[in-house]
Each structure stands twice: as structure tokens, then as C-alpha cells.
Amino acid sequence: MAPRALLAGNWKMHGLQSAVGELQKIIAGADGLPKLDLMVCPPATLIAAFAKAARGSRVLIGGQDCHSLPAGAYTGDISAEMLKDAGAAAVIVGHSERRQYHGETDEMVRTKARAAHRAGLLPIICVGETRAERQAGSALMIVRAQLDRSVPDDLTEVVIAYEPVWAIGTGLTPTPSDVAEMHATMREWLGRREAVRLLYGGSVNPANANELLTVANVDGALVGGASLKAEEFLAIAAVYR
């Protein structure tokens, strides 16, 4: 039996308090989409307000990153426990933008995934290759290595998001056959952890959602820019209607 689909929106560094109105539109639309789980991951400044607005609804709220420790002298950082306390149910770890701009390694991502589990959050672990790695024919090898080092082998309550780095925010997307090959490889890597959901991410939008999200072993998507507007996010979700 295929895992239940998950559509998660990563708002990145977008959104002020007025954005709760967009969330409310997503909440209203979620009632007509019983076949999947919907999640919005806003900036940390909005998590508490979004969690309050989403309470009792079918929409989950997630964070975009967490520190590996529960507390300490780490100015500007946020622990998984703090996210949980603010109302989050999940947290993204290892996004390529964190790896690129903040120097996060696979080992750091692994400790953050464990921190999320410790705090009672669902870790959404991101992996993906660069354009050069794809062109060199090493994409599968790169992602397998990231999985080996980033995903704790004793955790079953995780989500893995495949996001080819070159497709994030560029409008470029891999072919459905490329996505199928990568997701089949990840499913094989998981072995007996059949319940782990595999998301695709990277320039997902209403125009390409049906083509990408109906590929075998794709259990949903991690959506960037198209999740900022309820109309676009719900149009992607309609694939699972």
C-alpha cells in the first residue's frame, strides 16, 4: 500500500503577519482534499500564529530548520523543542539552500533529524544533486551518499524530499523518467521502511504537478514559490482529488 500523500509548502524567507489570510484560504480548501496531508512551513516568526490559525483544521504547520541541541548559547538559532512549543508538527532539515549558504554537511543534517525526532517533530530530510553532478552521470551516487550520511538508519518516522539543486526556483525540472529513476533508487535504499514518504521538490507548479506527482514512488511534493499563494498551492494539491 502506497504511503499517504503529503504536500508541504516551504515559504522560505517570505511572509509577514498579514499572510495568515493566505493560510486561511489553504485551510478552507483543505476540506475538499481528504486524500492527502497538507503542510505549510512559514518563517519562524509566523509559526505560532499559523499554528493557532490552523488548530483543528487539516493543515499542519512546520519549521524550516532547527538546531541540533535543545537549548544553549546559540544566538539566532531555534531548537526543535522551540518549534514544537510554538505549534509545529514537522521541520525541514538539509535543504540545499541551508547546505549552500550555511555550510551544512550531511552529518549536521543527520543530527538535526535526530533533534527533530527527539522533540516529537517529523523530520523532512532534503537530498539532491547539482547540475554538474547530474550532467556527469553521478546523480544517483550523490543522492545515495547523502541518504547514507543524512538519514538516521533507526528512524522510521521521517520524510525524504528529493530536490535536484538545479531545479529549485529555476523553472527547470527533471523529466518524469529521471524522477522515477531517482525515487525508485531511494525506495530501494529505504528497504523495509515502506511507510517513509518520498517527496519531489524543485519548481513544482500547477502546470507540471500532474506529470511529476503521478510518477511511481512519488508520495507528494515539497513546494517552494507556488505554495505562497493558496490558489496555486491548492491547484497542485488537486492532483490528489
* Contact predicate 232/205, CB 8 Å: yes
59-63 and 36-41 beta bridge pairing: parallel
Q: Is 163 a catalytic residue?
A: yes
Q: Is 209 helix (H, G, I), strand (E, B) or coil?
A: helix
Which conformational region is residue 37 in: left (phi greater than 0), alpha (psi within -120 to 50 degrees), or beta?
Answer: beta
CA-nearest of 110, 79, 9 to 50 is: 9
Separation between Cα atoms, residue 72 and residue 60, nearest integer Å = 28
CA-nearest of 193, 127, 132 to 162 is: 127
User: Per the residue annotation, which of 22, 67, 81, 95 is the catalytic one?
Assistant: 95
CA-nearest of 50, 67, 37, 69 to 11 is: 50
Q: Is 95 a catalytic residue?
A: yes
Which residues 6+ apart lie within 8 Å of 235 measured at CB? 206, 209
User: Per the residue annotation, which of 22, 81, 129, 163 is the catalytic one?
Assistant: 163
* Contact predicate 44/63, CB 8 Å: yes
Greatest CA separation for the chain: 48
**Catalytic residue numbers, as ranges:** 95, 163
